[in-house]
Each structure stands twice: as structure tokens, then as C-alpha cells.
Amino acid sequence: MEKAPLFDDIAEAPHGGVAHWLTTSDGLRIRVGHWKPADAKGTVLIFPGRTEFVEKYGATAKALYDRGYASLAIDWRGQGIADRLLTNRAIGHVGHFTDYQMDVAAVVAHAKALDLPRPYFLIGHSMGGCIGLRALMEGLDVKAAMFSAPMWGIQMSTALRPVAWGLSAVSTPLGFDQSLAPGQFEQSYVLRADFEGNTLTNDPEMFKKLRTQLNTHPDLALGGPSLRWLNTSLREMHNLSLAPSPDLPCITFLGSDEAIVDPGRIQSRMRQWSGGALHTIAKGQHEMLMDAPRIRKTIIDQTTALFDTQLVTQAA
């Protein structure tokens, strides 16, 4: 296994974390980082959102570590310091949304090679929730899942939705699918937005931390998505909406002030998820695992309670 950089100076993660480079089945290099306490009772696979990276989940890894769980987080293809797919590395891009499943396969194989403790569990945030739901439908071997503001739909005005579908659909045959989607910017959101009025977190210290991470390690930054990313993600979210929910316990958190993903799609999915529960977090924004301390603690406590229950069930 080839070791990769792990930026402990910005992660606020448990001591002893290790990162590795992985090669996917289509030849791309991605990065994963893991943290393992002594006598860990299971391993949580952390699937980050679009633009995110391993170190952003250091505090989440620490909270899981303190509750006895190992964790493993990923830089998806096209973000973090994994291989970027365009010459302009500021634009988020993917060939097909289902390509992320090759990253999932590499992560699971790596967890097994490291002999990280079973059983496995899943935390998927935003885009990672979309990738995670597809992985569960395709048989990802986890005992329970938690989703945070999962990207099962994107908020758009009624007028904008057909434009987004139409423009992104013709962008590939007409050869401009690598262009930024309309209204997007090459600069990362946290570097161009002010804390006041931001759509991510209520916590000024956390917002400052997110900025510091990118200013300290600029290679981690990512701007808006390409038209191709937009089109293939819209298609994937539509396809997922037509499929039945997986048969496993699930808890999903949605902030009452969510402004990025579509709450309606989340509510619809969770209404028909047998063994699933939806919790609305009052005043919560999109990045609930990076929101106010009380919100973070509530989510981690309820998530690990769900995971602990599955451990007891498995033992019985």
C-alpha cells in the first residue's frame, strides 16, 4: 500500500491516522484516510459531499473514535487531492455519476485489506448520500446507514429546472460539457462567501475553520460543477427516485434551513423506507456535521446509538 499525505494540521482528527493512495478499476488515483481506536467495535465508511476531502471529516472521525468506532473517509475522483478529471482543476467533473461506484469498490477492498474491524456502517453526506444510496442498492455490505442532507434531489426553481436539464443534456453532444454550470464559480464557496448569509453552517468558528483548511492547503479546493456533472447527477437522482429503498436500518438528518438539496425528495424517500427514520434539525443548515456543537453532538449521538443497536442485534 502506498501512503498518501494526511494533513493533520487542519484535520483535528484522532492521533494515528493514516492515508493511502488507491487505484480504481478504471485507473484513477484516489485517496483515503482512516483512524482506528484500540478494540474498535466496527468501522464507519464516510462518504463526503461534492467539493469535500478527507480532512474535513477529521472532527467527525474523532467523535466516532471516542465512541469506539474506526472510520475511513475518501477523496472522490475529481476532488480533494485525488486525480482531477479536467485540465482546469477548479471545475468539478465526472464522466458518469455511476463512475463513483468504482471508487466505492476500491474503498471497500481497501478496508478489507487493512482488516478494519467489522461490521461496516455508512455515513453519507450530500453527494456522498447519493453515491451511498446507489451503493446500498447494489449490495454495499453495511449493517446500518446515516445520511446527512443527502443529495437525492437539488433545489431549483420551477423555471430553472427544465433549463438545467435541457442545457446540460445538449452540452455533451455539442462539446461544451466541461464548462461550468450556469451560476457557478471556479472559486470554492467558503472562500468567496461571507459567514453572514452562508448556506452551510450556523457556527462562525466552523466556517472559519473551513476557510483555513483551504487557505492552508489550496490543492484541496474545488469550485462549481461542470455541465456534464450536472446532467449525469440529475439523471442519477431521477433513477434513484424510481427504485425501492434498501432493506436495512437508516437514519437521515435534514436541517430545517436546508438550501442546497431538495427536502421533498428526502421526505419522500424516508416515508417509504421500512426501518428508516427522518429527523429534522431545527435551524440546521446543509453541513450539519460542521454545524453548531449541539447539532453535531445530537447527530453523532443518535447515529452511534443506531450503530450500537445493530451490534447488539448481531451479537444476539
Contact criterion met (CB below 8 Å) for 217 and 6: no
Query: Is 0.95 surpassed by the pTM of this model?
Result: yes
Q: Is residue 316 scored above 80 in pLDDT?
A: no
pLDDT reading at 315 higher than 90: no
User: Band of the pLDDT at 161, cuts 50, 70, 90?
Assistant: confident
Report the top-level CATH class of 2-315. alpha beta
% of the chain surpassing 70 pLDDT: 100
| In the chain, domain spans | 2-315
* Distance separating alpha carbons of residues 244 and 203, to the nearest angstrom: 36
Q: What is the average pLDDT score of the chain?
A: 96
In DSSP terms, 225 is beta-bridged to: 92
Residues 75, 164: Cα–Cα separation, whole Å: 27
Quote the pLDDT of residue 236: 98
Cα Rg, the chain, nearest whole Å: 18
| E strand spans, the chain | 2-4, 18-23, 29-35, 43-47, 70-75, 120-125, 145-148, 250-255, 276-281
CA distance 29 to 78: 10
Nearest partner of 261 among 229, 296, 233, judged by Cα: 233
Grade residue 157 by pLDDT with cuts at 50, 70 and 90. confident
Closest CA to 291 of 219, 216, 220, 198: 198
Which grid cell is 170? 445538449
